[in-house]
Amino acid sequence: MSLLEAMTEDMKASMKAKDSATLSTLRLLLSACKNKKIELLHELSDAEVQDVVKTQVKQLKDSIVSFDAGGRADMAQSARAEIAVLEKYLPVQMSEEDLRALVQKTIAETGAASQADMGRVMGATLKAAQGQADGARVKGIVMQLLPAVVLVLVGTSTAYQPALAAIPLVAEDFGLDASTIEMALRLFRVLILWLGIPAITLMLTGGFGYMTASSRDELHTEAWGKMAQGFFATIIVAGLFAISTIILQQL
């Protein structure tokens, strides 16, 4: 029996049992599946039906946040009841321990070293989980296990100031005067700022992609990858700009 057939049978059973809450939830779900079938122009597979279910669950979870914020406890409870009905048609979710172990295994297999590799790790983990974990859970664990890139030179610049202060002296040994060094550094800072534009653009593009990706985990993964790359590229640009500024101050 396909997932759609199981849903139809469950709807008939809820109708006989006069379970109006379950009946209305399943009617809305089957209607959404019908619209998806029309959109795709073919009969839905079980995986495609589950995508529709995930979309419905995500919309309800978003509604719960709004209901809770507005003090509508009754509406929030109703939405949670609908989610309980819908989740019966989704794969059993992995436990926190199993999911963490899977993420750790994926990190080891992909050789990921920092949160800049988040998109790669999330994509591989979601594929291996086969629908048993959503993107939000995977992202949370990946962020816990992957260290953030820290630019030590920027964060502890005072500790490196003696070394940075010696750079002009070393340059003079090569026949470069202070004015030449200053001009080169100022040009370097301009170049760095220009390189910051695509980094910020990448981060914003990823953010927009994440907001418009609905519940499609593969698009969420791609968007997170772009945001992570743009974020760390921006940090690197800011760090190089700060270092060149410190050197200029020593001239």
- Separation CA 167–CA 169 (nearest Å): 5
What is the rounded average pLDDT of the residues 125-146? 82
C-alpha–C-alpha distance, residues 64 and 80, integer Å: 8
pLDDT above 80 for 249:
no
Is the pLDDT confidence value at 235 over 90? no
pLDDT at 31 over 90: yes
| Stretch 140-158: mean pLDDT | 59
Which pairs with CB-CB distance under 8 Å and at least 24 residues apart come from 118-123? 118/142, 118/143, 118/146, 118/224, 118/225, 118/228, 119/221, 119/222, 119/224, 119/225, 119/226, 119/228, 119/229, 120/225, 121/146, 122/220, 122/221, 122/224, 122/225, 123/218, 123/221, 123/222, 123/225
Residues 6 or more apart whose CB falls under 8 angstroms from that of 82 comprise 21, 25, 60
Q: What is the pLDDT of residue 26?
A: 93
pLDDT higher than 70, residue 150 = no
Residue 200, pLDDT > 50, answer yes
DSSP characters over 29-47: HHHHHHHHHHHHTSPPPHH
Residue 116 buriedness (CB in 10 A; 0-12 / 13-18 / 19+): buried
